[in-house]
């Protein structure tokens, strides 16, 4: 069943720190085969290992009637995001392919926001960048959360230094209290240390890294 909205300090978990409730949303970022499976075209080392940790958090969130929502890269075959079309990344998460699917071991307990469907660039689950005008435009994620009176977002997924970072910075910019689960993310690390730098940047923006 298609659940896409657009179509119709390293400690214990948040569940043990300050709990979930209906005003909280767990946002699971881009846990897709191309990122989370070693056979994926843009595998994030350790991406497969965080799936079970994310599943634990999904179970805690659903037990407390919190919102759970997923994001997915959902690219066309050609987009300025890809190196073959002038971008920096190998082809990945092309709409309708195995690589774009959520990892088969990931528990799915809510809808998914697709991003980049029309060739937009960017990383955040909240915004995309028009490839022609360069202007940012929203995805459906903010409206989905506002409609459910969510005030706090908890972020997990892939990758720490790109899509997780972009999603967290936008969440803070939009006024959401934001928590990052450091044991439920993994980094690309084009440059060694990028993951830790990203976590520090999120903390500097007012997110709580636990």
List the catalytic residues: 30, 115, 163
CA 17 to CA 152: how far, in whole Å?
A: 14
Question: Would you tell me how many other CB atoms lie within 10 Å of the CB of residue 12?
Answer: 9
Question: Is 163:125 a contact under the CB 8 Å cutoff?
Answer: yes
Interatomic CA distance for residues 6 and 83, integer angstroms: 26
């Amino acid at each position: 069943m298609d659940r896409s909205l657009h179509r119709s300090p390293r400690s214990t978990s948040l569940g043990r720190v300050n709990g979930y409730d209906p005003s909280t949303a767990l946002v699971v970022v881009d846990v897709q085969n191309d990122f989370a499976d070693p056979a994926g075209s843009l595998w994030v080392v350790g991406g497969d290992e965080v799936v079970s940790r994310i599943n634990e958090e999904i179970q805690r969130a659903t037990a407390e009637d919190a919102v759970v929502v997923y994001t997915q890269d959902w690219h066309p075959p050609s987009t300025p995001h890809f190196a073959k079309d002038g971008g920096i990344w190998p082809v990945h998460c092309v709409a309708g392919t195995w690589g774009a699917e959520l990892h088969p071991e990931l528990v799915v307990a809510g809808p998914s926001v697709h991003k980049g469907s029309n060739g937009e660039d960017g990383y955040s689950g909240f915004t995309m960048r028009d490839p022609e005008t360069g202007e940012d435009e929203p995805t459906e994620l903010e409206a989905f959360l506002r409609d459910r009176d969510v005030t706090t977002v908890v972020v997990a997924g892939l990758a720490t230094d790109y899509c997780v970072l972009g999603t967290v910075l936008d969440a803070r910019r939009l006024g959401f209290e934001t928590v990052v689960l450091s044991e439920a993310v993994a980094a690309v690390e084009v440059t060694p240390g990028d993951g830790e730098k990203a976590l520090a940047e999120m903390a500097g923006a007012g997110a709580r890294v636990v």
